[in-house]
């Protein structure tokens, strides 16, 4: 159940649009040359370009993998259902994940030999290889995409499938898969502990994984199949439910949780809260936080569909939580929402806004009732920073760093401890060996143009 299935599709066309306000600039970078039901957030590759998927579009309308430069040059890298019987899958779902080998990893919600979806690897030049095909009992419809964990494996969920006595076709699963394609089912949902995980997992600063389910948990007159859950899972697959929703605090949890700089997790619920206010028949949703110990707090209960919060939040380079709907906004731990930029009217926005290392936000929007989509950038004045392929590692391991202007780097420090070995591969990608004695904290890269600081702490593991 992608975010696009929730948003209003009555969108106006804003051709070649550039809108500036208070030194903030919104720019449409490119329109897809085909009908393309866009679903995934963007990610940044080693080359500094942005990559994503479309659920439809391409030859036959089965979805694509694409690349876009920051100046707006759009390239179709791969069209799904290119193999006989759609053995390569179709309807790619969720964001791609950048692997430690520089390739991109993702999932298709449908297709494959059994039409239950696939896991694939695609090179930056567009060469695709199917790594795994789901059969149903091991999961079906991996809609949330993949997460590259600190142990080098990818973790993900399937919306359905698996083995469950309470769901005829399975309630969904959590799995991990190696870069070579060896998949392990870690957990089968059973409706009481969750049903239908649709969002990506995240790895918290404690090394555990956190996720959400659309349904399952508490059943009542508003939630026949349960109102949804937030869960925690160890790397070995031991799952505990952190919170059961009961509709008054939210329901239909279709977005991922995001860990803020304070260590708590933040997310929106798509429905629940207030009922039948100005068009929200099932409630306009909530914004909530939950601590690592399970303390749950309702932060916002919007009473109008005009201010529904549907998108996964992101931590930007200024340490603030950002979300997007009708506006780009920040969310404070207290629950205060501050509008940063109001988007053009009648413009449907993507499920997640992405901040690239140039400091700018990127995403997509639907621009007509035929589901045509476009890529945009939004400059709010945030500065360049460094990001990681995996934001964790042991002393002696190699950290992979993404940014802009890395040529001429003179030093790299991990929470103040200098790396004795680093290598600048290109202006947008470098590596550095985690030094002995380093502790969890910011990574600072000294370049001729000044210091670049990581947007999140690099977690030093033991």
pLDDT per position as a tens digit, 222-257: 899 999 999 999 999 999 999 999 999 999 999 999
Q: What confidence tier does 10 reach under pLDDT thresholds 50, 70, 90?
A: very low
pLDDT of amino acid 278: 57
Strands 373-379, 361-366: pairing kind: antiparallel
Question: How many Cα atoms sit within 13 Å of 179 on the Cβ side?
Answer: 14
Nearest to 198 by CA among 239, 256, 282, 283: 256
> Do 147 and 275 sit in the same domain of this protein?
yes
pTM for the whole thing? 0.93
> Do 429 and 282 sit in the same domain of this protein?
no
CATH of the domain at 430: 2.60.40.10
Cβ proximity of 399 and 79 under 8 Å: no
Cβ proximity of 115 and 95 under 8 Å: no
pLDDT per position as a tens digit, 247-304: 999 999 999 999 999 999 999 999 999 765 556 778 889 999 999 999 999 999 887 7
- Number of structural domains (the chain) is 2
State which residues form the domain around 397: 387-461
Residue after which a domain boundary falls, among 379, 408, 433? 379
> Do 409 and 289 sit in the same domain of this protein?
no
pLDDT per position as a tens digit, 16-74: 334 444 579 999 999 887 666 666 789 999 999 999 999 888 888 899 999 999 999 99
Tokens of 456: 């999140």
> Do 134 and 222 sit in the same domain of this protein?
yes
> Do 190 and 318 sit in the same domain of this protein?
yes
Partner residues linked to 185 by β-bridges: 175
Partner residues linked to 188 by β-bridges: 173
């Amino acid at each position: 159940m992608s975010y696009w299935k929730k948003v209003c599709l009555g969108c106006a066309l804003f051709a070649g649009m550039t809108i500036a306000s208070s030194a903030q600039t919104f720019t449409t970078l490119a329109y897809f040359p085909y009908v393309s039901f866009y679903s995934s957030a963007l990610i940044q590759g080693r080359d500094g370009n942005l990559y994503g998927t479309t659920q439809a579009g391409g030859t036959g309308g089965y979805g694509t993998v694409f690349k876009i430069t920051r100046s707006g040059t759009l390239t179709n890298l791969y069209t799904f259902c290119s193999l006989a019987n759609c053995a390569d899958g179709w309807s790619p779902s969720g964001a791609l994940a950048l692997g430690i080998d520089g390739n991109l990893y993702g999932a298709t919600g449908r297709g494959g030999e059994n039409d239950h979806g696939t896991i694939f690897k695609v090179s930056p030049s567009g060469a695709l290889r199917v790594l795994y095909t789901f059969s149903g009992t091991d999961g079906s419809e991996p809609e949330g995409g993949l997460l590259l964990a600190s142990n080098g494996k990818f973790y993900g969920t399937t919306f359905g499938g698996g083995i469950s006595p309470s769901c005829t076709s399975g309630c969904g699963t959590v799995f991990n898969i190696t870069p070579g394609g060896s998949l392990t089912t870690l957990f089968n949902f059973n409706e009481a502990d969750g049903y239908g995980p649709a969002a990506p997992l995240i790895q918290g600063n404690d090394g555990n994984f956190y996720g959400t389910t659309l349904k399952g948990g508490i059943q009542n007159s508003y939630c026949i199949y349960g109102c949804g859950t937030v869960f925690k899972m160890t790397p070995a697959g031991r799952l505990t439910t952190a919170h059961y929703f009961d509709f008054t605090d939210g329901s239909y949890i279709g977005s991922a949780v995001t860990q803020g700089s304070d260590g708590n997790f933040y997310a929106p619920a798509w429905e629940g809260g207030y009922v039948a206010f100005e068009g929200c028949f099932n409630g306009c949703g909530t914004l909530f936080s939950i601590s690592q110990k399970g303390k749950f707090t309702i932060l916002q209960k919007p009473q109008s569909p005009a201010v529904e919060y549907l998108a996964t939040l992101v931590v930007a380079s200024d340490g603030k939580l950002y979300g997007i709907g009708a506006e780009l906004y920040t969310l404070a731990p207290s629950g205060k929402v501050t509008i940063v930029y109001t988007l053009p009217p009648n413009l449907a926005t993507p499920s997640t806004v992405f901040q690239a290392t140039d400091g700018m936000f990127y995403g997509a929007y639907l621009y007509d009732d035929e589901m045509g989509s476009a890529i945009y950038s939004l400059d709010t004045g945030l500065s360049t920073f460094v990001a990681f392929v995996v934001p964790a590692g042991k002393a002696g391991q190699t950290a992979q760093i993404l940014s802009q202007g890395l040529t001429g780097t003179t030093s790299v420090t991990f929470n103040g401890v200098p790396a004795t070995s680093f290598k600048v591969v290109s202006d947008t990608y470098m590596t550095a060996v985690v030094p002995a004695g380093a502790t969890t904290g910011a990574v600072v890269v000294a370049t001729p143009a000044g210091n670049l600081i990581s947007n999140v702490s690099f977690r030093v593991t033991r």
